[in-house]
């Protein structure tokens, strides 16, 4: 986005990936992440993601040279200040909701800028600058038309406190990132502080928040912006109904149906995600008929309940799905949605836990979240930000033991090759295999499908 706005960008990363390849194809130099010397002499500004530690050589070099340094979230907040900022927040569903919203806006004739934490083929990727829309929030109608900028608002390390939205969505609030927050109460307080960033209603500030599941009363207390609620509850401002088999979603406002569509992504959680995107688009001026048509045509995004293929095996076929879910609530919702919509003979799940701290803090919730699965295979925990001490406090075997105690058939296997070999032995005709986690576990789905030797 910065390059498209005229900045000369280069960067570094610890590992080679599809993302570093894509950046290079876009003309942005990406170097191995190891040396102070990688910081160019003519550098004006350094932006670091949340995964970068303060003692990183390039940050220390920038500090010694007196360069301006911003976090990723601070840079995003600066971009939002020049536009109509739309921030999509919540423990779950940010990428899906943001992608749905942007697809709707584009289909309705808007030209939003956006940055989304997942790849959506219909959007051409996960980010773009956008241009003047010719439409805007009513509070800005008398001014030159500013651009819309849709951004995910991540609560990790209170990053979303650097956003500067005019319109914000809070989908849900649950226990997560407890290594940062320590308690659910502190998570709720952080979301309340995020909501307080919105301007008052006279200046166009508007919060859309789930009627249930987002601690609405605590978050909205004392706010001066406009507030709307949505959900399955009849008391919500926007009432949602969803058919778990057909994935048809209906939305009513003030007792009148305003929209109806069929989701390509099953599950009640995705019904709520799509409804939140639809309402947000409506608040930005989109027509409800066009909103419904756009959602009927939405094809999903990578690693969000994504059907990636089918494998011929043992005289039958196995459907293979890939999903980013790594929180107990996400896992439970995804498995229930697949069970209801696909109705497989057996549901086999390969789940890679993400972060030792999350696994330890939410162990009991994880143990309950796989009730819809017939078999669960757990590789090593994906180690990212945690300390080496945290790494010693919990392992994948601990999760497998708890699953077995709850009556779930579970096993710990590693490396990924061993998991693929085991899947080739146990999978049968009519099984559904879902690969879940925020780490590199997606490789299991790819390798399982590539191993198909059928003609």
264-321 pLDDT tens trace: 888 888 999 999 999 999 999 999 999 999 999 998 888 888 899 999 887 889 999 9
- Whole-prediction pTM: 0.80
**Cα–Cα distance between 304 and 300 in angstroms, integer?**
7
Average pLDDT over residues 71-94: 90
Instruction: Using alpha carbons only, give the angle 21, 22, 23 rounded to the nearest 5 degrees.
Output: 90
C-alpha torsion angle, residues 42, 48, 52, 54 (rounded to 10): 70
Confidence of residue 454 (pLDDT cuts 50, 70, 90): low
Q: Provide the pLDDT for residue 125.
A: 67
Pick the more confident residue, 120 or 138.
120
CATH code of 74-296, in short, is 3.40.1190.10
**Cα–Cα distance between 227 and 372 in angstroms, integer?**
36
Q: Please state the domain extents for the chain.
A: 10-66, 74-296, 306-450
Are the C-beta atoms of 359 and 372 separated by less than 8 Å? no
Alpha helices by DSSP H, listed for 313-394, are 328-342, 356-361, 363-369, 388-391
Q: Could you identify the residue written with the tokens 């609560």?
A: 155
Pick the more confident residue, 347 or 159.
347
Q: Could you identify the residue written with the tokens 């600066």?
A: 78
Q: Provide the pLDDT for residue 177.
A: 85
pLDDT at 451 over 80: no
Are the C-beta atoms of 281 and 88 separated by less than 8 Å? no
Average pLDDT over residues 417-429: 94
**Per the structure block, which two tokens stand in for 194?**
């995020």
CATH code of 306-450, in short, is 3.90.190.20
Residue 322 has φ and ψ, to the nearest 5°, of -130, 135
Q: Provide the pLDDT for residue 132.
A: 41
**Mean pLDDT for the chain overall:** 88
Percent of the chain with pLDDT over 90: 60
Average pLDDT over residues 352-366: 91
Handedness of CA 199, 181, 33, 120 (dihedral sign): negative
Burial 128-154 (b: 16+ CB within 10 A, else e): bbbeebebbbebeeeeeebbbbbbbbb
pLDDT at 444 over 50: yes
**Per the structure block, which two tokens stand in for 72?**
């990723």
Confidence of residue 152 (pLDDT cuts 50, 70, 90): very high
- Can you state the angle between helices 268-283 and 288-296, rounded to 10 degrees? 140
Long-range contact set of residues 215-218: C-beta below 8 Å, sequence gap at least 24: 215/173, 215/188, 215/191, 218/188, 218/189, 218/192
Q: Provide the pLDDT for residue 55.
A: 87
Q: Provide the pLDDT for residue 81.
A: 85
The tens digit of pLDDT for each residue in 224-260 reads 999 999 999 999 999 999 998 888 999 999 999 999 9
The tens digit of pLDDT for each residue in 9-51 reads 998 888 888 788 888 998 999 988 765 566 888 899 999 988 7
């Amino acid at each position: 986005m910065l390059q498209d706005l005229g900045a000369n960008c280069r960067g570094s990363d610890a590992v080679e990936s599809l993302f570093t390849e894509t950046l290079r194809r876009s003309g942005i130099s990406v170097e191995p992440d190891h040396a102070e010397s990688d910081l160019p002499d003519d550098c004006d500004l350094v932006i670091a993601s949340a995964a970068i530690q303060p003692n990183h050589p390039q940050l220390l070099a920038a500090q010694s040279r007196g360069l301006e340094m911003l976090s990723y979230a601070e840079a995003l907040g600066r971009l939002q200040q020049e536009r109509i900022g739309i921030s999509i927040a919540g423990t779950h569903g940010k990428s899906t909701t943001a992608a749905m919203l942007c697809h709707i806006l584009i289909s309705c004739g808007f030209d939003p800028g956006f940055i989304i934490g997942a790849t959506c083929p219909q959007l051409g990727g996960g980010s773009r600058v956008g241009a003047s829309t010719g439409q805007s929030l009513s509070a800005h109608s008398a001014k030159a038309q500013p651009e819309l900028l849709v951004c995910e608002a991540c609560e990790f390390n209170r990053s979303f406190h650097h956003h500067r939205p005019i319109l914000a969505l809070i989908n849900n609030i649950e226990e997560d990132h407890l290594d940062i927050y320590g308690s659910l109460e502190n998570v709720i307080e952080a979301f309340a502080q995020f909501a307080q960033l919105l301007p008052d209603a006279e200046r166009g500030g508007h919060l859309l928040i789930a009627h249930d599941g987002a601690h609405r009363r605590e978050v909205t207390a004392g706010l001066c912006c406009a507030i709307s609620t949505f959900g399955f509850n009849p008391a919500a401002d926007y009432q949602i109904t969803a058919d778990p088999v057909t994935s048809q979603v209906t939305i009513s406002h003030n007792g009148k149906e305003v929209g109806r569509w069929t989701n390509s992504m099953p599950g009640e959680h995705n019904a709520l995600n799509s409804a939140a995107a639809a309402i947000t688009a409506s608040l930005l001026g989109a027509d409800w008929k066009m909103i419904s048509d756009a959602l009927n045509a939405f094809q999903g995004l990578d690693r969000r309940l994504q059907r990636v293929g089918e494998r011929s095996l043992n005289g039958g076929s196995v459907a293979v799905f890939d999903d980013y879910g790594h929180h107990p609530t996400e896992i439970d919702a995804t498995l229930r949605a697949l069970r209801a919509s696909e109705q497989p003979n057996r549901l086999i799940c390969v789940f890679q836990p993400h972060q030792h701290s999350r696994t330890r803090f939410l162990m009991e919730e994880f143990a309950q979240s796989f009730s819809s699965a017939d078999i669960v295979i757990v590789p090593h925990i994906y180690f990212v930000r945690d300390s080496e001490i945290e790494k010693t406090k919990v392992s994948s075997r601990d999760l497998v033991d708890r699953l077995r105690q709850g009556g779930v058939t579970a096993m710990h296997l590693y490396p990924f090759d061993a998991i693929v070999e085991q899947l080739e032995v146990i999978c049968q005709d009519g099984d559904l295999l879902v690969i879940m986690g925020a780490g590199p576990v997606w490789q299991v789905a790819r390798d399982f499908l590539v191993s198909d030797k059928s003609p």
